Amino acid sequence: MTDVRFLTSEDVTGLATVTEYVDAVRDAYRQRGEGAPAKPRTKLKNEDPAGMMTGYLSILPDSGVMGGYMYSAGFGAGDAWFVTPLFDAESGAPKALLDGASMNPFKTGATGAVGVDALAREDATELGIVGAGPQARGQLRAIATVRDFETVRVYSRTPESREAFAQEMAEFVDVEIVPVETSREAVAPVDVVVTATNASEPVVDDEDVTPGTHITAMGQYDPGVRELEPETIARATYVPDLRERAFQDAGSFLHALEEGLVDDDHVHAELGEVVAGEAPGRRSDDEITVFDSGGTGVETVAAAKLLYDRAVEQDLGTFIELSPASEALTGR
């Protein structure tokens, strides 16, 4: 038997700062760039009841942990449920089990921030956001820690959503947030663009993407979901979180492949390779860069380790017992 620390959503809320999430995720992608194992998501869809079961994995040797994410969405509950197991990377023994819901916008936002830090111009001051949900909120809070923005323009199809976003986020970031009425107003021209939607058609017109722009695209997690036009992918230095994932479910990239605008060699590097210095990031002020972030176990395990460490320091959580396979199989 071994004791495993169980951390509820309430336990982990507020345990780490946004900057700490960004630092942890940056180091995790550095490890990935140096060869740490990670696999893109496995996704199982169900028709009746309609739902999706998803999971992905990563090992972070330098951090001494491994684990992943498993979640269901839809089905009879009509909601999503996130579970994060964390294991010791040396012994293989389980360390913790986390309710992964609360950390989701933070670890995903931290990934976007690492992408911006690696690929956006150092003098970036204007940010445009398309989308106004929890992921967009997480993106803004994290990205604001790596660049000194003066203005943020946010667009959502629902006026009430973009107004609420501007009002709420003003409490967290010291920057002017301006709700705008069209995607074009949010995008043209700015230094950094974030798309945080679940759109099946592009939400950014290629003609609005000016030289020098960096785009962090968060809604690229299914072949049928795409936020960017294929022409934008073709013009950009294209960096996904995982190379394998780009060919599996990065909708905008796959569409550009289908259109014949790019080939397999268009993937410049993985984010981790750029962070680790194995590949160059931005090479000129006029370069258009795209970070395609569909979600991986890299940021998930990094965030879980961060929260686990904080929980140990503060003696938070409860314990459950798990049996090793040898005991379970033999009945000892």
Q: Read off the pLDDT of residues 3-21 as tens digits, 9 standing for 90 and up.
A: 999 999 999 999 999 999 9
Give the architecture-level CATH label for domain 2-104+297-330: 2-Layer Sandwich (3.30)
213-230: pLDDT as tens digits = 999 999 777 888 889 999
> Average pLDDT of the chain?
95
Higher pLDDT, 126 or 326: 126
Phi-psi region of 215 (alpha: psi -120 to 50; beta: other; left: phi over 0): beta
pLDDT, residue 332, reads: 55
Say what the pTM is: 0.95
For position 330, what pLDDT does the model report?
Answer: 64
DSSP single-letter state for residue 239? E
Q: Report residue 76's pLDDT band, with 50, 70 and 90 as the boundaries.
A: confident
Q: Give the model's pLDDT for residue 94.
A: 97
Distance of CA 75 to CAs 63, 86, 100, Å?
35, 26, 19
3-state helix, strand, coil split of the chain in percent (to 5) is 35, 25, 35
Q: What is the mean pLDDT of residues 286-291?
A: 98
Tokens (6 digits) for 14: 């507020």
Check whether 253 has a pLDDT greater than 90. Answer: yes
Span 184-207, pLDDT tens digits: 999 989 999 999 998 889 999 999
Name the band, by pLDDT with cuts 50, 70 and 90, for residue 331.
low
Distance of CA 322 to the CA centre of its chain: 30
Domain 117-292 has CATH 3.40.190.10: no
> Residue 73's closest CA among 55, 58, 86?
55
Q: Any idea where the domains of the chain sit in the sequence?
A: 2-104+297-330, 117-292
Q: Is residue 148 predicted with pLDDT exceeding 80?
A: yes
Please determine, for residue 284, whether its predicted confidence score (pLDDT) is greater than 70: yes
